[in-house]
Amino acid sequence: MVRRNLSKLALALTVVLMASCSEDDAMDNPDMGGDTNSTSIYITDAPVDQANVQAVFITVSDVMVNGESIEGFNTTTIELSSLTAGKTELLGQLNLDAGSTNDITLKLADTDAAGNAPGNYVMLDGNIKDELGGAMEIKLSDSAEIMSEVENELVLDFDLRKSIVQNGDDYSFVSESMLESNIRAVNTANAGMLSGTVDNSTEADAELVIAYVYPKGSFSDSEEEMNSEGVLFANAASSAVVSSEGDFEIHYLDEGDYELHFASYKDEDADGMLEFNSMIGAETSGALDLNGFTVDAETETEITISFIGLLGL
């Protein structure tokens, strides 16, 4: 009788100890037993500002988030320059723990999806391919928040305008460190959109007008000068071409405060390439201040703008 009761007691203690150890393991290793959240991963782009560039292609061989690759991902060649104005291409899906991502890596291949070189290139007039660079791993400096109990959409904004540079007749990627800092990672649940209409866009007297959005207080005159790698307006959060009708859209902006600036471009020396001409003075008809406005998550901020002349001319 006593022996049987002791056996029951020993069994009960074993169960308690096992449960306790499991709880301790879960506390020490949050990834064990934690709920993961379905996350769709997309890629998008901001426009290139060179008139002789027909298209830009990259070939992605792997996509990793928090050290985990997209299962079943096949090497894919993407016409990145077509993914502007909010357009995206789905790369795949992962189940991720809630919280901030600690590592996002894009692997680029040196051949395209069909096995032909180059894998990453600019398509110039006359269907000439100019190689941008070979195989590389791009470890993003940016991170994004993965939300619990929702369908997450993680958008990687490549921003070709800041990621490729022209040297004479050749194009190439910027340095690896700058490339890693240029690509933004945004969860659409935490992002909004800015849309605008310029009611007198012809006042810019330009072949191309680009709208640049900056975190509030971060723009300075030095942005009008090329940085060490030959990039203008290098610290802009994003940008958009103003259409001939005066419309523009800037998507996937993290919720926060911003300022908006406009620049005109012309082919001043008739070499087939557009050069920065001048900043454009602008004002709004409403209460919104171009030097400080808020973009809210999952919201479209609309703005109507009038150009008031070229600055510094």
Which sign, positive or negative, has the C-alpha torsion 77, 63, 231, 188?
positive
Query: Angle at CA 141, nearest 5°, toward 137 and 142?
Result: 120
Distance CA 129, CA 147 (A): 41
Amino acid letter, residue 178? M
* Beta-bridge partner residues of 250: 194
Query: Angle at CA 151, nearest 5°, toward 149 and 154?
Result: 120
Please check whether residue 163 is in contact with residue 120, taking contact to mean a CB–CB distance below 8 angstroms. Answer: no
* Beta-bridge partner residues of 170: 167
Mean pLDDT, consecutive 10-residue stretches, the chain (313 aa), reads 39 39 41 72 87 90 97 96 96 96 97 98 92 96 94 95 89 95 96 97 93 98 95 96 96 98 92 90 91 97 95 74
Closest CA to 76 of 92, 64, 65, 87: 92
Please check whether residue 113 is in contact with residue 67, taking contact to mean a CB–CB distance below 8 angstroms. Answer: no
CA distances to 49, 103, 160 from 209, rounded to whole Å, are 9, 35, 17
Backbone angles phi, psi at 277, to 5 degrees: -105, -60
Q: What is the pLDDT, as a whole number, of residue 18? A: 39
How far apart are the two ends of the chain, measured CA to CA in Å?
A: 103
Burial of 187 (0-12, 13-18, 19+ CB in 10 A): buried
Q: Which helix (H) or strand (E) holds 64?
A: strand 53-65
Amino acid letter, residue 254? D
What residue has token string 């975190």? 215
Backbone angles phi, psi at 204, to 5 degrees: -70, -20
Distance CA 54, CA 62 (A): 26
Q: What is the pLDDT, as a whole number, of residue 34? A: 55
Which sign, positive or negative, has the C-alpha torsion 22, 24, 27, 31?
negative
CA dihedral 41, 46, 50, 56 (to 10 degrees): 10
